[in-house]
Structure 1
Amino acid sequence: MENLKANLVRVLEVTKVSPLPASPSSAADFSLPFTYLDALFLKIPPTERLFFYSLPDPPLLDSNSIVTHLKHSLSLTLQHFLPLAGNLVWLPESPKPTVLYSPGDAVSLTVAETDADFTHFSCTGIRRVEECRPFVPELPAVDDSVPVMALQITLFQNRGLSIGISNHHAFVDGKSSIMFLKSWAHIFKHTQNNPESPITLPPELTPFFDRSIIKDPKGIDLLYINYWLKKTNPTDPSIKSLKYFPNLGVSPEMVRGTFELTRTDIENLRKSATKEDESPTRFSSFVLAFAYISICAVKSARIEQKNKRVYLGFYADWRARLDPVVPTNYFGNCGGSHGVFAEAGALEDDEKGLGVASKRIHETIQRLDENVTKGAEETLSKWEKVEEEIKFVGVVGSPRLGVYGLDFGWGKPENVKMVSIERTGSISLADRRTGDGIEFSLVLSQPEMLRFASIFSDGLRTL
């Protein structure tokens, strides 16, 4: 992989960007306690996203000016997001890690350039998974410390640029990560003509850091932490380490495919899923998309034993479901892993499969509104059982994150990729660039991907 990066990109600089030194907040230590919702992802590899932007032709600014202002606006933004410039640390005397920012801490920012074809990398389609990795920054971990975030800007010969972000999932979820990026874009745009002008963030982009709102009377945080320590070092689980769990995902020979479900597709799925119901349930777009993607994934896997169970897993936001309700701008992890089992044969049924999958996913989501934390203690132990099943179909991300709303002043991204799915084996969901429908990506072997693409498109045509 290092050779691939060296051949594809030229690193111009690796610099550190600190919160603006003149800010009073950046002159003092700032720490955040580790909640059980953070501990759930203690050993999970970083979440990695890539945003590809076209630049005007001719460009309004030269690339040096763009990079200079990206750095300056990043420094301004970090005043509001101090922990992102810090580290996840595990002190010897502490039973759990802490997120700590100290004056002088900074975010690693790599600036690179490439002669690669911008259109090739910014388009959808089927691509080798390793192609985009050179544009993503590394987030190295040692036993007692790991950076919370790293960034990379890659310039494509005045055609465009990419912004790559790596986040430690044990500190932020997707909602928080996108909030930070939207804040950076907001400050970039509003200080472009006057870099020294004072700027405040709108309420929806102002982070809420108070961790006391996350209640944990059962001590689930230490339960999760002990699980991960035992999992990574069975012979001596007392050894504390922040190193990631070995990659859960796939080999470099695998391919990434990106597909879309239009609003019309989703409406047709809705009709098909409820055609036999006298009182049809109003399934959400997420439910219908997840159900249909799962069916296509199971069919393309060619599971021989039709009575084998398939686990349909998803991540749900808990902010509005907890008691007390957590503000929408809470910055950190605030959600959990959920799912439901179904038999492979039932999902493959052309007449009833979509209805079966949609109903089970829908009912699982409905139960979250009744008691979202029920069974939280067993979340990780349930993963152990899932590993033994014949097929796992898991989705991450959400169309509600609005990744295509991330505008630095150059317009919407041409394409957004969640690169980290190659390491976790999950399917990423997002909004479409056009603003309607759902875009998703998954990683499979090339033969299985071609089967998936055929099953996916043929199924939509026959609805």
Structure 2
Amino acid sequence: MVAITIEITSKEWIKPSSPTPHEKKHHKLSFIDQFQPPIYVPLIFFYPKDDSSSSSSSHQPTRYHLLKQSLSDALTKFNHLAGRITGNLSVHCNDLGALLVEAKVQTALSEAAKNIPVAQLNEFLPIEPYASPNDDEIPLLAVQISSFECGGTAVGVCISHKIADISSLMNFVNYWSALSRGGNSNTSVQPIFDIPSKLFPPVPEDSAFPNYINVEKKLICKRFMFDKERLSELKKHASLDEFYGLEVKNPTRVEALSAFIWKQIINASRAKGETKSVYVASQTVNLRSRMKSLKYDSNLFGNVFVYSLASLTSWPLGNQLHELVWMFRTAIRRINDDYINLVRSGVPYLNAFYKPGGILSNPEEVQVCKFTSWCRLGAYEVDFGWGKPITVSTVAPEIKNGVILLSTKGDEGIEAWITMAEDEMAFLSDELLSLETNSLP
């Protein structure tokens, strides 16, 4: 492992290069936005030195100032990212600005990029992503530009989960990077801001939202790397021609790996002596491609996703991978227009799960594993003008039994970021450890 030292050299507020017009001063939150906790969606892009340019001592400041100016230009189109949340109802697009932090890293990128301990990755972010501050004055967008001794750069982005999901973060970053490369404001990224709150109307500010994310102490996160060959083996092992009438003979990489990890998390908790009556796997499902009757596209900006829920009421029923894959698929197939209409009802949708008798109503008897796939986002295509990143990372999700899946460079492998209670992580089976290519603490 490489110990790194990062020195913060400046902090400033970046405002839109053009003031927000009066008619665009308020942006309504959707019901799904309101349901999100006050945390950030974090992503870090690591870039090597640009050898195609002449090297000089002024090279890094040029990168920083280029990103600073293009960020200001990008905020003109994404103006609510420079605003502030008002209660839990809307964004006041007051142009107070996004936070921009400049930092220096006292090591070379080649030494750090692939060997930074998971716990230290937060130092590449401008703000603590899981601090959950419920403060109307916190920035909705924060960026840190970290310069390595070798000339490499890390761009750490945090966007408030109250207004954006990972697809929206990528929508913004793609627009920002296009401007940084010399594009203009008419680039192909054309975000749609007003539709989500019309599709999923906000509920009154005093509505009670269940705390579905419980940040617990004594959690530990490990990052497991699965290469193309291991994933192929896993897909083959999870395949079956038919199970309860549903083909599972060609599971996707994400399906096979998610099912495998779910199985190991259940086994780890049971090995510690913790038995539940219900085991649930929730998956984030992007609605942008599923609202067929509404014909909306990937440019919808906001939180445009729901959670599918696969559940087991006994164990070892479901301990075969093909069974778990079938459960994952069945849960996702339920996300149709009828289900989306239920989501649009707002609080009644939540009550279906959290009211007495609902599947999530008794946490003492239910173990929930929360899966999020950030695979095939195109994160490795983000080019600010000096090439594509050599690696893209997030930070440890501070959510018990939280799993984030990230594509590796070339989309051939998958990184699994798994957070568990510290004592349960110790029980993670040898089967998981033997399948992965390597794991980093």
Q: Give me the TM-score of the superposition, normalised by structure 1.
A: 0.78
2:76 to 76, 79, 83: 79
Q: Distance in 2 between matches of 1:298 and 1:59?
A: 52
Q: Deviations over 1:172-228 (max 9, x none)?
A: 11100111111111211226xxxxxx45211xx211112367334xx6x42796223
Deviation of 1:342 after TM superposition, in Å, equals 1.9
**In 2 relative to 1, CA 372–398 (structure 1 residues): closer, same or farther, beyond 3 Å?**
farther
Paired residue type of 1:109: L
**In 2 relative to 1, CA 343–174 (structure 1 residues): closer, same or farther, beyond 3 Å?**
same
Corresponding residue for 1:412? 388
Give every structure 1 segment of 4 or more consecutive aligned residues whose post-TM-superposition deviation is greater than 6 Å.
none
Corresponding residue for 2:198? 214
1:328 aligned to 2:298?
yes
- Asked whether the 8 Å contact 1:249–1:422 carries over to 2, the reply is yes
Q: Distance in 2 between matches of 1:53 and 1:280?
A: 42
Q: Distance in 2 between matches of 1:422 and 1:186?
A: 32
**In 2 relative to 1, CA 276–256 (structure 1 residues): closer, same or farther, beyond 3 Å?**
same
Q: Deviations over 1:18-41 (max 9, x none)?
A: 1113xx756764321121111121
Corresponding residue for 2:138? 146
Q: Distance in 1 between matches of 2:317 and 2:7?
A: 47
1:259 to 224, 230, 237: 224
SS of 2:154's equivalent in the other structure is strand
- Asked whether the 8 Å contact 1:307–1:345 carries over to 2, the reply is no
1:122 to 110, 113, 123: 113
2:102 to 92, 107, 111: 111
- Listed as ranges, the matches of 1:161-240 within 5 Å are 161-190=153-182, 198-202=184-188, 205-211=189-195, 214-216=198-200, 221-222=202-203, 226-228=207-209
Q: Identity of counterpart residues, as a percentage?
A: 19
- The structure with the greater share of residues assigned to helix is 1
1:271 aligned to 2:236?
yes
- Asked whether the 8 Å contact 1:14–1:110 carries over to 2, the reply is yes
Q: Distance in 2 between matches of 1:65 and 1:247?
A: 42
Paired residue type of 1:54: P
Q: Distance in 1 between matches of 2:302 and 2:222?
A: 30
Corresponding residue for 2:333? 366
Deviation of 1:433 after TM superposition, in Å, equals 0.9
Q: Distance in 1 between matches of 2:328 and 2:309?
A: 7
**In 2 relative to 1, CA 424–406 (structure 1 residues): closer, same or farther, beyond 3 Å?**
farther
Corresponding residue for 1:194? none
Q: Distance in 2 between matches of 1:287 and 1:324?
A: 27
**In 2 relative to 1, CA 82–128 (structure 1 residues): closer, same or farther, beyond 3 Å?**
closer
Corresponding residue for 1:443? 419
Q: Deviations over 1:119-173 (max 9, x none)?
A: 4542168x352x1222212278455443211111112223422222222111011
**In 2 relative to 1, CA 318–259 (structure 1 residues): closer, same or farther, beyond 3 Å?**
same
1:89 aligned to 2:86?
yes
Q: Deviations over 1:259-297 (max 9, x none)?
A: 233344333333222346487434333222211121222
Corresponding residue for 1:93? none
Deviation of 1:409 after TM superposition, in Å, equals 3.2
Paired residue type of 1:309: V
2:32 to 33, 37, 42: 37
SS of 2:339's equivalent in the other structure is coil
Structure 1: tracts of 5 or more residues without a match: 91-95, 192-197, 233-244
1:288 aligned to 2:256?
yes
Q: Distance in 2 between matches of 1:276 and 1:365?
A: 19
Paired residue type of 2:49: L
2:43 to 43, 49, 67: 49
- Asked whether the 8 Å contact 2:277–2:313 carries over to 1, the reply is yes
Structure 2: tracts of 5 or more residues without a match: none
Q: Distance in 2 between matches of 1:207 and 1:81?
A: 8
2:361 to 385, 399, 416: 385
